């Protein structure tokens, strides 16, 4: 049903805009930086004059910020409307949602344009040798200006570029940048395929050279660049031979998590010690012949305070904000979080553990009825309940599709997602509160005995999108202590080009932004606001015990630990995105992770410390179905060259479910693979 709806919407959009689909970007469509002779009006916020290929490059970039003593970083993003990429057939982009940030995404892909560049001849660190990025002589240098330490990365040229002269240089952090920190970027020793040195862009060479008079068009840019060059010299990076250099600030934890933590604290502060209001609307009992694992299915809704601007919070709505910019609830406004629960047959003998379930890409709560979820419930006595990930649910498909051709629509996606996470938190509280769902006859046996063990607390299990968004839910929830993030990764701007799921959406993006270099900037801009609605914005706090000032849920959220289950060669969620997440949150790698020779990496899973089992804490387990190694470029795997998609294989393994159940109930990661790499059978 979901796929048919998506196909219909895509067809309608493509029919309306089809003539533009195959048209290459015209030179006049490219807002490029001013030349040195034309840059007299260049000021921070307008196109960076250091390069002359595309406005916003290089990106991210503190040229597009201003001083703001009221933020934790001391800066605030200050995009002007005329620098944000306007779609071919669309309206200008309002920069207000982006300008709420006090820095850029911690998962930012550092993007530049170096015409004629050959990465092999240059010697840049590839995806298979991340350790090379920390070499003293590395041609690309990322330095944390706060600590003075180099930051690991890998470099690639955009394999999706439609022309060589418009190919983006993509520098991906191997571990997320530290929130609130400032970073220095230096490109040096850039070479072409013949090994010849590529000259620096003329504007950069001028700005990096002798001091310019105040009347010079590049004076203002040089003034901002000089401290960067000074800090690079102190770090051992000489100005001579530089091709390009700049700096950027990463958004603070308070800015990244502030909206969700604010609505959580307001809602739970108002709720106090009470259980959320709920209503059971449907109960269906099954015989063992109907379903040997599930005895009862319950549907209903929980009433949740709404912080969205439209009544009922429909797709397309965004946060209603107060004068200080924070989400505020309009008086008395609520909305329903519809739920579906699967109660195992075993719960009628022994009260079951309560767990939330997170559904997949643009799906619905009904995925809690999938066979693997029922198997997990029946085998290990869990009651799984799910609500829709509104913002990224089936009903949001039209808005998601529309946002690819109109960036003004995009803030609804993460803001409704956060409202959806609040709904999941209220559902979770209703599951474990003594006066919550367990008081309703639907959650009691015929003899009146509770089917939920509210003393065990609340768990979380999600797959795919349920893993990608689930980390944010786990981080923010006052009740979840442990979560399983199945076939997961972060962040979306890294994942999309590498996902087979994105292929139909790519067609819409191609209509709106035919130039693939500009598309990379669009993805980076999406990520800046997407951080607030997915794990990427919460990774730095996910496995810690820190709370936010003013938190009314008891001072802080409890310490969290997560178990990541990864499908090697996953066609939908790239393995490299899981590696970045594991490094960022400090998850240990269960070893041996893969059989010898399976990974093309010089050091497989570089930078992820091994776990000695049994292990108490966050960990990552790789499940291998024999799928070929994923592409080494920013392109998706595909059949038949990359075999069948193993995306659903781990969750269908009884041994994987045993490992998940033990972790969710005890926090221990146990060996279920006999000391060997974990293997999975391809799903039928």
Q: How many CA atoms lie within 13 A of 73 on its CB side?
A: 29
Same domain flag for 376 and 234: no
Confidence of residue 684 (pLDDT cuts 50, 70, 90): confident
Is the Cα dihedral 511, 59, 157, 243 positive or negative?
positive
Same domain flag for 165 and 274: no
Interval 354-365 mean pLDDT? 97
Q: 10 Å Cβ neighbour count for 137?
A: 10
Of 649, 646, 673, the residue nearest 659 (C-alpha): 673
Between CA 296 and CA 311 the distance in angstroms is 33
Between CA 175 and CA 103 the distance in angstroms is 17
Would you say residue 332 lies in a domain? yes
Same domain flag for 245 and 293: no
Between CA 239 and CA 205 the distance in angstroms is 10
Torsion of the alpha carbons at 342, 430, 654 and 379, rounded to the nearest 10: -60
Would you say residue 73 lies in a domain? yes
Kindly report the CA angle at 357 between 345 and 308, in degrees rounded to 5?
A: 135
Please report, in angstroms and rounded to a whole number, the separation of the first and last CA atoms in the chain.
Answer: 21
Place of tokens 């799984």: 384
Between CA 228 and CA 285 the distance in angstroms is 67
The DSSP code for 663 is H
Confidence of residue 53 (pLDDT cuts 50, 70, 90): confident
**Residue 375 · residue 656 · CB < 8 Å:** no
Same domain flag for 195 and 338: no
Between CA 62 and CA 243 the distance in angstroms is 18
Would you say residue 323 lies in a domain? yes
Same domain flag for 275 and 317: yes
Tell me how long the chain is.
684
Between CA 356 and CA 222 the distance in angstroms is 53
Same domain flag for 228 and 284: no
Range from 29-43, 246-260, 372-386, 609-623 carrying the lowest mean pLDDT: 29-43
Same domain flag for 272 and 240: no
What is the bridge-based pairing of β-strands 678-679 and 610-611? unpaired
Q: How many domains does the chain have?
A: 2
Q: Which residues contact 656 (CB under 8 A, 6 or more apart)?
A: 565, 621, 623, 650, 672, 678, 680
Q: Name the E strands within 473-618.
A: 480-486, 561-567, 588-590, 610-611, 615-616
Confidence of residue 11 (pLDDT cuts 50, 70, 90): low
Would you say residue 347 lies in a domain? yes
User: Which of 199, 221, 251 delimits the end of a domain?
Assistant: 251
Same domain flag for 98 and 198: yes
Would you say residue 628 lies in a domain? no
Continuous segment of H or E residues that includes residue 284: strand 278-285
Same domain flag for 372 and 432: yes
User: Which of 197, 218, 251 delimits the end of a domain?
Assistant: 251
Interval 60-83 mean pLDDT? 96
Q: Which residues contact 245 (CB under 8 A, 6 or more apart)?
A: 184, 185, 186, 187, 204, 208, 225, 228, 229, 232
Interval 210-229 mean pLDDT? 96
Q: Which residues contact 460 (CB under 8 A, 6 or more apart)?
A: 355, 356, 357, 358, 470, 473, 474, 477, 480, 482, 483, 484
Would you say residue 514 lies in a domain? no
Range from 11-25, 155-169, 188-202 carrying the lowest mean pLDDT: 11-25
Between CA 509 and CA 87 the distance in angstroms is 9
Q: pLDDT tens for residues 463-501?
A: 999 999 999 999 999 999 999 999 999 999 999 999 999
Same domain flag for 274 and 185: no
Q: pLDDT tens for residues 640-655?
A: 889 999 999 999 999 9
Between CA 586 and CA 609 the distance in angstroms is 8
Confidence of residue 683 (pLDDT cuts 50, 70, 90): confident
Would you say residue 280 lies in a domain? yes
Interval 69-88 mean pLDDT? 96
Q: pLDDT tens for residues 374-411?
A: 999 999 999 999 999 999 999 999 999 999 999 999 99
User: Which of 427, 459, 491 delimits the end of a domain?
Assistant: 459
Residue 405: domain span: 268-459
Whole-number pLDDT of residue 113: 97
Same domain flag for 186 and 240: yes
Helix, strand or coil for residue 436? Answer: coil
Q: What percent of the chain has pLDDT over 70?
A: 91
Whole-number pLDDT of residue 41: 42
Between CA 502 and CA 484 the distance in angstroms is 24
Of 615, 620, 617, the residue nearest 578 (C-alpha): 620
Would you say residue 624 lies in a domain? no
- DSSP per-residue string spanning 595-652: -TTS--SSSTTTT-PEE-SSEES-EEEEEE-SPPPPPSSSS---TTTT-S--TTTGGG
pLDDT at residue 16 tops 60: no
Of 469, 509, 503, 507, the residue nearest 486 (C-alpha): 469
Q: Is the peptide bond before 600 cis (omega within 30 degrees of 0)?
A: no
Same domain flag for 144 and 103: yes
Between CA 226 and CA 219 the distance in angstroms is 11
Kindly report the CA angle at 107 between 528 and 316, in degrees rounded to 5?
A: 30
Confidence of residue 90 (pLDDT cuts 50, 70, 90): confident
């Amino acid at each position: 049903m979901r796929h048919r709806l998506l196909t219909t919407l895509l067809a309608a959009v493509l029919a309306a805009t089809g003539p533009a689909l195959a048209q290459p970007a015209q030179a006049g469509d490219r807002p490029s930086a001013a030349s040195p002779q034309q840059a007299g009006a260049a000021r921070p916020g307008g196109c960076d004059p250091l390069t002359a290929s595309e406005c916003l490059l290089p990106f991210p970039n503190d040229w597009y910020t201003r001083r703001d003593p009221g933020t934790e970083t001391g800066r605030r993003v200050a995009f002007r409307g005329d620098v944000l990429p306007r779609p071919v057939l669309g309206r200008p982009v309002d920069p207000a949602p982006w300008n709420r940030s006090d820095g850029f995404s911690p998962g930012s892909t550092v993007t530049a344009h170096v015409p004629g560049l050959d990465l092999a001849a240059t010697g840049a660190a590839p995806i298979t040798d991340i350790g090379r990025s920390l070499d003293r002589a590395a041609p690309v240098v990322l330095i944390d200006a706060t600590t003075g330490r180099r930051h690991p990365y890998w470099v690639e040229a955009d394999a999706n570029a439609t022309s060589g002269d418009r190919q983006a240089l993509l520098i991906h952090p191997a571990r997320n940048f530290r929130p609130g920190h400032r970073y220095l970027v230096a490109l040096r020793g850039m070479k072409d395929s013949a090994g010849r040195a590529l000259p620096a862009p003329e504007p950069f060479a001028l700005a990096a050279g002798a001091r310019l008079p105040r009347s010079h068009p590049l004076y203002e840019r040089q003034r901002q660049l000089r401290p960067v060059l000074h800090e690079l010299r102190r770090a051992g990076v000489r100005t001579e031979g530089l091709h390009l250099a700049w700096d950027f600030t990463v958004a603070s934890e308070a800015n990244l998590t502030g909206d969700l933590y604010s609505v959580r604290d307001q809602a739970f502060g108002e709720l106090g010690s009470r259980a959320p209001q709920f209503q059971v609307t449907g109960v269906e009992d099954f015989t063992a012949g109907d379903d040997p694992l599930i005895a009862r299915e319950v549907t209903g809704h929980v009433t949740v305070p709404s912080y969205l601007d439209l009544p009922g919070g429909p797709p397309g709505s965004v946060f209603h904000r107060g004068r200080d910019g924070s989400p505020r609830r309009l008086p008395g406004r609520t909305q329903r979080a519809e739920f579906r629960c699967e109660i195992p047959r075993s719960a009628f003998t022994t009260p079951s553990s309560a767990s939330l379930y997170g559904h997949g890409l643009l799906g619905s709560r009904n995925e809690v009825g999938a066979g693997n979820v029922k198997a997990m419930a029946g085998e290990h006595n869990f009651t799984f309940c799910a609500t829709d990930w509104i913002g990224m649910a089936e009903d949001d498909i039209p808005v998601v599709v529309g946002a690819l051709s109109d960036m003004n629509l995009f803030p609804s996606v993460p803001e409704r997602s956060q409202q959806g996470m609040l709904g999941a938190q209220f559902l979770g509280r209703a599951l474990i509160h003594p006066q919550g769902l367990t008081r309703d006859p639907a959650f009691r046996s015929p003899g009146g005995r509770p089917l939920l063990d509210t003393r065990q607390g609340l768990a979380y299990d999600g797959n795919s999108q349920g893993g990608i968004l689930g980390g944010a839910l786990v981080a923010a929830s006052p009740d979840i202590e442990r979560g399983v993030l199945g076939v997961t990764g972060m962040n979306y701007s890294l994942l999309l080009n590498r996902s087979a799921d994105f292929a139909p959406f790519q067609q819409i993006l191609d209509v709106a932004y035919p130039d693939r270099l500009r598309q990379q900037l669009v993805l980076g801009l999406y990520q800046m606001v997407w951080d607030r609605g997915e794990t990427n914005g919460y990774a730095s706090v996910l496995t810690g015990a820190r709370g936010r000032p003013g938190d009314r849920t008891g001072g802080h959220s409890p310490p969290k630990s997560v178990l990541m289950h990864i499908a090697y060669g996953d066609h939908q969620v790239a393995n490299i995105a899981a590696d970045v997440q594991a490094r960022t949150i400090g998850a240990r790698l269960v070893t041996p992770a893969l059989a010898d020779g399976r990974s093309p990496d010089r050091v497989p899973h570089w930078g992820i410390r091994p776990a000695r089992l049994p292990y108490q804490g966050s960990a990552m387990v790789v499940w291998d179905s024999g799928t070929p190694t994923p592409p080494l470029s920013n392109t998706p795997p595909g059949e038949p060259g990359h075999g069948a998609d193993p995306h659903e294989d781990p969750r269908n393994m009884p041994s994987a479910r045993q490992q998940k159940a033990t972790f969710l109930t005890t926090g221990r990661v146990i060996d279920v693979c006999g000391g060997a790499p974990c293997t999975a059978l391809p799903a039928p």
